[in-house]
Amino acid sequence: MGARGFRRTAASRAVLAVLQGSRGMTARAIHDRLIATGETCDIVTVHRVLRRLSAAGVAYPVPCGSSVGYRLAGPQDPVLQCVRCGVTTPLSGAVTTALAREADQAGFTVGPVVTGHCPDCRRRA
Ligand SMILES: [Zn+2]
């Protein structure tokens, strides 16, 4: 791994540490926190890390005031899971909230997994 790869990994780790325990933070807020704790990464790197975490399903965008924040996906968050191949994708915060509210009105608690068929399996079916 080159110095470049190392910096990328360090930035991911730092962003993950900030997001840990947060209910949603904007890239700007994450960057401010990093700077306050003596990290030297720039806002562009924070955006890049967030896009990567989001693509990997590790974090997902949530509404954060008038802006968009990011929140770590956790076991408390329902995911969509394909019943055929098992691939999962996190549900957005808005969907999660709506689902939990609907379920609560019906006296249900929501399980962590909402099942269905992923795009690949739908194409193959
Ligand atoms: Zn599938």
Residues with CB under 5 Å of ion ligand 1 are: 82, 84-85, 118, 121
Give the CATH architecture of domain 3-72: Orthogonal Bundle (1.10)
Domain ranges of the chain: 3-72, 79-124
Using the mean position of ligand 1's atoms as its centre, give its distance from the Cα of residue 123 in Å: 9
Domain over 79-124 is classified CATH 3.30.1490:
yes
Token representation of residue 66: 């008038």
pTM of the complete model? 0.58
Provide the residue-wise pLDDT of the chain in tens; the chain has 125 residues.
Answer: 444 555 668 889 999 999 987 878 999 999 999 999 998 889 999 999 999 888 777 887 777 778 888 888 766 666 778 888 877 777 766 677 777 778 778 887 766 677 889 899 999 87
